[in-house]
A and B are shown apart, each in its own frame.
Chain A
Amino acid sequence: MTVRAMIIDDSRAMRSILRRILTGLEFETSEAGHGQEALDQLTAGPVPDLCLVDWNMPVMDGYTFITQVRANPAWRNVTLMMVTTESEQSQIVRALAAGAHEYVIKPFTPDAIVEKLEILGLTSKGIPA
């Protein structure tokens, strides 16, 4: 089954980097430039399996987006992974408490994203049988 992933980041360059990694794993991708745009897309459907979310964005930040997604039972199956420069321990704890499943701190290597997706059970690529 193809995994549907939404990349939410105000940097077009970052969206492009993440898109290349995910399409390499044969994920279907969509993109949004901030949290509100992502929420609008979720409402319109189809609902993705995974959101990669930056923290600091205009209009609506990633933390607010996560709390909004978690507040809606219809979106309870969406896996949320923060991909951000926010690296304070307290911020990571806050994001996890709000409902993020995983957390990647920029800068990262493509392997780091793939390994996190393995932790989340969304890909087995790279795991030897």
Chain B
Amino acid sequence: MSPHGFQSLAALVRRETAMVYEPGKEYLVEARLLPLATALGVDIDTYISRLGTDPTERRKALDALTINETSWFRDHSPYQAFTEEMLPAVLAARADRRRISIWSAACSSGQEAYSIAMLLDQHLPAGWTAEILATDVSTAMLTRVQNGRYSQVEMNRGMPATSLVKYFTRAGTDWEVVPRLRQMVRTRHLNLADPYLGLGTFDVVLLRNVLIYFDDVTKADILRRMSGHVAADGYLLLGASETTLGMPSDVASLWRREQLGRVQAHRPVLAAPQRSTYVPPSSTTAIGA
């Protein structure tokens, strides 16, 4: 792949998804796009130049470039914190309406959303409703989540054997999620860099190992807008290496950090409705008054 090819692809990905591909990631881009280029019988540079004018192929390329290495119950401790700390708190706070809502943001192939669904199946009291929204920028990934089918190699990645036999059935050489878990999870196409229209608020938002792929300005913007979608008494979980520390002060001031076992959760500082109220520039409120 030529340096020009890589630069123009990186610019395209940045424009379409706000994800950053720094120089040095050429091998990754080649590994993911070469099968698509080969399928069309062209070399990788020709393929990249074609993406500017071929929306179908552009969609496929962006799908292929979406990073999706994952396992079930990834890192273990966030799920332990979910079951032992967050879930009991939400059950107490929502006892009146008996409904819990979770957002798996950048859900990839769905292991996170279905891992949460398994825990809810085990720990949610009777009479409660659970809704898990799984969003991703990749339509191919969303189709995978809806189908709920996983290969043997994927199933080996962190799935306890007892859960495998309880929540999956064999489908040829693959495994398929049982209907009662699939019914908990709904999918929606969403680029985290775009507006979050009509999403509502969630008791727990999982935004793990996603921000690392965005530049600092987009990261701050995501965390700023995310604060309108975590319930006032809800939780935002980032990846183990991700934090609001070092963010612009207006972003850092939106979140307080709370240690839950081995996991640090982020919680809104102000009630969500107050933050989402739009104050027009012509407001009589004096700045600095």
Contacts and interface: CB of A to CB of B under 8 A. Distances in A.
Interface of A: 87-89, 92-93, 95-96, 100-105, 107-109, 111-112, 115-116, 118-119, 127-129
Contact of B152 (A87, A111, A116): A87
Name the 7 nearest CB pairs between A and B, nearest first: A128-B240, A112-B156, A103-B161, A115-B158, A108-B156, A102-B161, A93-B165
13 contacts: A87-B170, A88-B170, A89-B169, A89-B170, A92-B161, A100-B161, A101-B161, A102-B160, A102-B161, A109-B156, A116-B156, A116-B158, A119-B73
A96 B161 contact: yes
Interface of B: 71, 73, 75-77, 152-153, 155-158, 160-162, 164-165, 168-170, 240-241, 262
Contacts of B161: 92, 95-96, 100-103
A22 to B, nearest CB: 16
Contact of A109 (B77, B157, B165, B170): B157
Contacts of B155: 105
Contact of A105 (B77, B152, B168, B169): B152
B76 A118 contact: yes
B158 A128 contact: no
B164 to A, nearest CB: 7
Contacts of B165: 89, 92-93, 96
B261 to A, nearest CB: 11
A16 B108 CA distance: 34
A95 B156 CA distance: 16
Given A100-B161, A103-B161, A115-B158, A109 B153 contact: yes
A8 to B, nearest CB: 18
A119 B153 contact: no
Nearest to A126: B75
A81 B159 CA distance: 13
Given A89-B165, A102-B160, 5 more contacts: A112-B153, A115-B71, A116-B156, A116-B158, A119-B160
Nearest to A108: B156
B30 to A, nearest CB: 22
A108 B158 CA distance: 11
A108 B76 contact: no
Contacts of A127: 75-77, 262
Nearest to B154: A112
Nearest to A93: B165
Contacts of B156: 104-105, 108-109, 112, 116
B160 A107 contact: no
B76 A111 contact: no
